[in-house]
Amino acid sequence: MTYCVGLKLDRGLVFAADTRTNAGLDNIATFKKLHVWEERGDRVITLLSAGNLAVTQAVISILSEHINTAPEGRPTLMSVDTMFQAARLVGSAVREVRAIDGEALNANADNFFVTFILGGQIKGEEPRLFQIYSAGNFIEVGQDTPFLQIGEHKYGKPILDRVARPDMRLGEGAKMILLSFDSTLRSNLSVGMPIDLLLYNKDSFSAERQLRIQQDDPYFQKLSKGWSDALRDAFTDMDPLDV
Amino acid sequence: MTYCVGLKLDRGLVFAADTRTNAGLDNIATFKKLHVWEERGDRVITLLSAGNLAVTQAVISILSEHINTAPEGRPTLMSVDTMFQAARLVGSAVREVRAIDGEALNANADNFFVTFILGGQIKGEEPRLFQIYSAGNFIEVGQDTPFLQIGEHKYGKPILDRVARPDMRLGEGAKMILLSFDSTLRSNLSVGMPIDLLLYNKDSFSAERQLRIQQDDPYFQKLSKGWSDALRDAFTDMDPLDV
């Protein structure tokens, strides 16, 4: 499994992805699921992936290779003018991988299942955030729900539902997302540390605010413990049910 | 969908079930999923159900009818000596329904899927808590994890993981379960009010502490709002991520 979140705020975008992959419970490994394409001053494009690792890696490889090898005039992530066109490129890459591997996966009773969160900003546009499905089609985040989740989304959704607001600062958004990860990590073994994070400031066209949060990260440990304590205190302060 | 919780505490048992059933999102209804068999002074047996409503109702009907119509010497929920035997009766009823309806359900591409939480106390034993599967087999709660969930369990699990302790009072346990329901109700439309609750005091052999919590219940509304406010305050008090 996997857990990734994309958040669209007034001030920019926040992305987070865990790094655990597993083929069965007895075969786990660490793989990066947060991928960034950047041209300083012009664009930052981020892709978070969940699903079959061979498929997601193939999609990423196609997108990356095309940047250098695509024939003149064929659009790439570094040449498209809008994030909508970038989302279509990702969708096309998904369909290309299905055309190559889909039949063999079916024959092996494996699922062709992937989802992506794509977000970023290209000069001339506002920051945008998309979710791309196995079929290669996609949706874009509007005003009403500022976040997208892929993978094991349920454990960490209540905190997002309660707290997420478009006018949050990026650091507040990252804090909220880390609490959402904390709940997920406690409940689902197939989501694991470290967590990759990217905070993208609107109109910065720079992906410099990236970090990897390890298990022993002091901020994350303090956050996790502080949240547990605060929840327990809040719980204790409320009246029990009297029947 | 459905959400039910059973909690085994040192002082007794707490049960809760929502009441929403749905056949598709456009056909929802209210059905009781918390069933109690009681003989004051001798036993209280509670069954919470999730899954195909026709199947769960058939199981409940078999268990109830047998109490009056079973031939002499055949065990019923009112005659068995232990909760383990009660769990086996429920398992047998599940297998009986599968024998009757399973083939037709399969032919209709419907799943034969049910799960039950069974708990209670029979004189001579401690209170016990079981989960019973579609195959009719079951597990019993031990010391390490005091709660069971069936149905849409993920949204409401973090609060249980953080707060549940065997030495809680029943009213505290009920409060915790209602907060778990609150998170679930916010995130999943297929779980709906009212919520049925039973608080069973160890060695009381009485099911009198039952209530149904409606949408406009003042205690639940206060709890829900208080929890939201406390979480938001706790969130605000913590330092944002600084990258």
Q: Which of B159, B174, B186 sits opposite A240 (nearest CB)?
A: B174
User: What does the pLDDT look like over A99-144, one tens digit per residue?
Assistant: 999 888 888 878 888 999 999 999 999 999 999 999 999 999 988 8
Using pLDDT thresholds of 50, 70 and 90, give the confidence band for residue A191: confident
Q: Is A59 contained in some domain?
A: yes
Q: A35 and A177 in contact (C-beta within 8 Å)?
A: no
| Per-residue pLDDT at A229 | 92
Contacts of B235 in chain A (CB under 8 A): 163, 175-176, 179
CA distance A183 to B74: 47
Q: Identify which of A60, A48, A59, A50 has the alpha carbon closest to the alpha carbon of residue A21.
A: A50
Chain B interface residues facing chain A, Cβ-Cβ under 8 Å? Answer: 154-155, 157-159, 161-163, 169, 171-172, 174-176, 178-179, 183, 186-187, 197, 199, 209-211, 219, 222-223, 226-228, 230-232, 234-235, 237-243
Whether A26 has a pLDDT exceeding 80, the answer reads no
Helices marked H in chain B — which ranges?
Answer: 53-69, 83-107, 157-163, 170-187, 218-237
Strand pairing category for A20-22 and B138-140: unpaired
Using pLDDT thresholds of 50, 70 and 90, give the confidence band for residue B188: confident
* CATH number of the domain within which B63 lies: 3.60.20.10
Q: Which of B161, B175, B232 sits opposite A163 (nearest CB)?
A: B232
- Cβ of A235 within 8 Å of Cβ of B157? The answer is no
| Per-residue pLDDT at A207 | 97
Q: Is A238 contained in some domain?
A: no
| Per-residue pLDDT at A108 | 83
CA distance A19 to A194: 6
Q: Is A171 contained in some domain?
A: yes
Q: A163 and A176 in contact (C-beta within 8 Å)?
A: yes
Whether B184 has a pLDDT exceeding 80, the answer reads yes
Q: Is B242 contained in some domain?
A: no
- Cβ of A174 within 8 Å of Cβ of B219? The answer is no
Hey, is B200 helix, strand or coil? strand
Minimum Cα–Cα distance from A176: chain B residue? B235
| Per-residue pLDDT at B131 | 97
- Cβ of B243 within 8 Å of Cβ of A211? The answer is yes
What's the order of all strands across the beta sheet hosting A12-17? A147-151, A3-9, A12-17, A195-201, A210-213
CA distance B190 to A61: 40
Q: Minimal Cα–Cα distance from B153 to chain A, Å? A: 9
Q: Which of B161, B187, B238 sits opposite A158 (nearest CB)?
A: B187
| Per-residue pLDDT at B145 | 87
Minimum Cα–Cα distance from A227: chain B residue? B234
Q: Is A242 contained in some domain?
A: no
Please enumerate in sequence order all residues whose Cβ is within 8 A of that of B63, keeping only pairs 6 or more positions apart, or say none: B37, B47, B76, B77, B89, B90, B93
What is the 3 state secondary structure string of B21-41? EECCCCCEEECCCEEEEEECC
- Cβ of B240 within 8 Å of Cβ of A172? The answer is yes
Minimum Cα–Cα distance from A163: chain B residue? B232
Task: Indicate the number of domains in chain A.
Answer: 1
Burial class (CB in 10 A: 0-12, 13-18, 19+), A73: exposed
Q: Identify which of B156, B119, B112 has the alpha carbon closest to the alpha carbon of residue B138.
A: B119
Q: Identify which of A51, A11, A5, A4 has the alpha carbon closest to the alpha carbon of residue A166.
A: A11
| Per-residue pLDDT at A115 | 96
Q: Is B89 contained in some domain?
A: yes
Q: Which of A171, A231, A235 sits opposite B240 (nearest CB)?
A: A171
DSSP readout, A185-219? HHH-TTS-S-EEEEEEETT------EEEE-TT-HH
Whether B140 has a pLDDT exceeding 90, the answer reads yes
Q: Which of A171, A187, A226 sits opposite B157 (nearest CB)?
A: A187
Chain A interface residues facing chain B, Cβ-Cβ under 8 Å? Answer: 154-155, 157-159, 161-163, 169, 171-172, 174-176, 178-179, 183, 186-187, 197, 199, 209-211, 219, 222-223, 226-228, 230-232, 234-235, 237-243
ipTM of the complex: 0.85
Whether B24 has a pLDDT exceeding 80, the answer reads no
Q: Minimal Cα–Cα distance from B95 to chain A, Å? A: 30
What value does the mean pLDDT take over residues A71-91? 95
Q: Is A167 contained in some domain?
A: yes
Q: Which of B221, B236, B241 to mutate to test the interface with A (most CBs of A within 10 A)?
A: B241
Per the prediction, chain A carries an average pLDDT of 93
Q: Is B109 contained in some domain?
A: yes
Domain enclosing residue A156, as ranges: 3-233
Omega cis (within 30) before B71: no
